[in-house]
Amino acid sequence: MPDGSHKITNMKILATVVCFIVLQTASASALIVGDDAPMFFLRDMEGNNFYLSNYVGPKKKENTKGVILAFFASWCKPCKNELPILNALVDELAGKGIKVVIIGMNEDFDTILKTLNDIKVDKPLILSDRYGKIAEKFGVRSLPKAFFISCNGKICDVIPGEMEHFEIAVREKVGRHFK
């Protein structure tokens, strides 16, 4: 009769590996509503530094009610559907004190600009997270992903992926969180 201790040992090893994976995944999870938005800076296309802390949080310098921060990539088809909608809302949102910022994830400005020119997006502030460091801080694992950040620097809402009625959702979230 075979010894059952091999099965028990294999099960212990498997359980240990599963626990390790779960713990690693949990520590690298996406930000959720109520979390502090990680403060960062990136250069825009003109070489100017964009500091999130100038727009939200206790040290903000601009008179804003919040920021919509949307991550995208040139290869992301749902991103190409949603970015023109955000582009069309920029002026309206700016009138309400909301800054719209889009971040090209893991791409340089040449790639980003070609994509944005193709889909006719030119109004949001455009940043390049060439090495994915900011996306990593926000726990972005899939695209598109939009974070609504209140004036106090907290994540107040998230759109975690493509949404059929994206414009309606953005307007609803703005109305609820940025009064």
Does pLDDT of 109 surpass 70? Answer: yes
The model's confidence at residue 2, banded by pLDDT at 50, 70 and 90, is low
**CATH placement of domain 31-177:** 3.40.30.10
Q: What is the pLDDT of residues 111-148, one digit of tens each?
A: 999 999 999 999 999 999 999 999 999 999 999 999 99
Report how far apart, in Å, the C-alpha atoms of 127 and of each of 31, 93, 107, 117 are. 20, 18, 10, 15
pLDDT attached to residue 9: 57
Q: Cis peptide leading into 144, omega within 30 of 0?
A: yes
- Asked if 59 and 96 touch (Cβ cutoff 8 Å), the reply is no
Share of the chain above pLDDT 90, in %: 80
Report how far apart, in Å, the C-alpha atoms of 160 and of each of 72, 79, 100, 108, 137 are. 12, 12, 17, 23, 15
Mean local confidence (pLDDT), 30-47: 93
Amino acid at 73: A
